[in-house]
A and B are shown apart, each in its own frame.
Chain A
Amino acid sequence: MRDVSIIGIGQIEVGEHWDVSLRDLGARALLAALADAGIDRPDALYVGNMLSGTLGSQEQLATLIADWSGLRGIEALKVEAACASGAAALRVGVMAVAGGIHEIVAVLGVEKMTDLDGEEATAALMTAADAEYEGIHGTSFISLNALLMRRYMEDMGVPQEAFAGFPINAHANAANNPNAMFRQPITRDTYSRAPMIADPINLFDSAPICDGAAAVILCPTERAREFSSRPVRIAASAVATDSVALHDRREPLFLLAVQASALKAYRQAGIGPEEIDLFELHDAFSIIAALSLEACGFAPRGEGTRLAADGQIGPRGRLPICTMGGLKARGHPVGATGIYQVVEATLQLRGLAGANQVPGARWAMTQNIGGVGGTAITHILEGQG
């Protein structure tokens, strides 16, 4: 198996792009990444996207974006794993290069969620859950996460305010990210006064509906210096799954797939959680941030929120997370999110993260989750000095 590196990155500002279509959003991020790597024509394009069929009545999306980017003719495929579609596309790209199938691969994550009203976007997101046994009961994706958060608070004796540290950190970091959707810092007071959207989840515990696109270019590590003076090595790429429905799990408060994908990734990279310098985790909801820290070995069970409360998750803390705003404040254009995480981690490892730079960062972990932990995809990246 060949070692794989990232040689180019591109991203579009996350937000409500009413004047830009899905295909143009995708093409712009892709062309930016190709330009960053100095590549005209990759061998293949893998596109992570969840909702183009549901919200945009558009499939064959990868083929369309390849054509719209001047790449008509190349291998182009869409990859779907709900909110983890971006990282799933990266996983396919890594397999293609590592397996010697392709030399230069482009991976794009793209999502357009604001063309329809919020109700339709909310219904579309629910397709990540079990339609016959969760959706039919009038459950929304937010209420599934609320079920988890309520039981967690009860079992672990954790009050709602304990979760405030996650959105506060995310918004503080997004303030320094020109590609983030929400660039206003928030305070503990803002958090405690926020309206409930699905008790106990308040407005700041949940990531926004938005548009976005981000892309990376991959090649074998042995060739990376031909294209980039600061390549970033993909030291691990690991996928694990759990039941789609929460009710099909023996212990809903422990995200088994998250743990399994992290353990596989640590093994591949030959490091443990203590060596990770920053962690772009999947904070679609504050409860998922806490459960991810616990499942990945950064906090004992029931103590995920304590890391946030103690200020250890800031750019200069013990374990910086969501260093450019995370899903909460950079935004969560679902199928694009996994690639934004990798683009941001690459900026950190290149030393180009500006005010949010994690000093001396060498190892970055990114983790993209589909549904309420049904699919978990972990990548570990290593900077090359």
Chain B
Amino acid sequence: MRLAPHWRVRAQRLQLRGEVCQCCGERLFPPRDVCPACHQPADKPFAFCGEGTVYSFSTVYEAPKGYERFAPYTIALVRLKEGPLVTAQLTDIDPSDVRIGLPVEMVTRVLREEGEDGMVIYGYKFRPVLEREAAREEARA
């Protein structure tokens, strides 16, 4: 059981905490010590709002070990409102309803389970922005 690797990224996993570069303004997720855009030190925490759109997606039917109970699930690259792309699972949606451009929002869910007595690891997933979809449907009707 490896606790520390999951514990030390808890702010990223649970709050989508990244950084903003004080030199060039680039928003970074995940956080890192050096800004990849301007190569200056990056150290100011920045919490992303958790909204974005699906940049691309692929549905996994044969899940890797630890992910079986979620299968089939859809992996997506999500373009966050503030700029960066993030890799995550989509949740609360039928794989056949996913499309590029779909508005999504971050939720906290179980990412992985390591057996009966093992760890349960929580983190971000993204689900469709339900209210907005409903409102749009109403406007159309």
Q: Which A residues fall within an 8 A CB radius of B?
A: 119, 122-123, 126, 132-134, 136-140, 143, 146-148, 150-151, 154, 198-201, 243, 245-249, 252
Contacts and interface: CB of A to CB of B under 8 A. Distances in A.
Interface in B73-123: 73, 75-77, 84-89, 100, 111-112, 121, 123
Interface centre among B58, B60, B62, B125 (most CB of A within 10 A): B58
Contacts of B123: 136-137
A148 B66 CA distance: 24
Contact of B75 (A119, A133, A139): A139
B89 to A, nearest CB: 5
A154 B55 CA distance: 10
B70 A247 contact: no
Contacts of B121: 136
B interface, how many residues as a size bin? 20 to 34
Contacts, number: 87
A329 B87 CA distance: 30
Given A126-B64, A151-B100, A243-B36, A136 B55 contact: no
B33 to A, nearest CB: 14
B23 interface: no
B64 A246 contact: no
Do most interface residues of chain B lie in helix, strand or loop, or is the interface mixed?
Answer: strand
A138 B112 contact: yes
A141 to B, nearest CB: 10
A119 B66 CA distance: 12
Contacts of A147: 56-58, 75-77
Nearest to A253: B56
Contact of A132 (B5, B57, B70): B5
B9 interface: yes
21 contacts: A119-B62, A123-B65, A132-B5, A132-B30, A136-B112, A136-B123, A138-B64, A138-B112, A140-B60, A140-B64, A143-B75, A147-B75, A147-B76, A150-B57, A151-B55, A151-B100, A199-B58, A245-B87, A246-B77, A246-B85, A252-B85
A119 B62 CA distance: 9
B15 interface: no
A138 B67 contact: yes
Contact of A146 (B30, B58, B84): B58
A88 B88 CA distance: 31
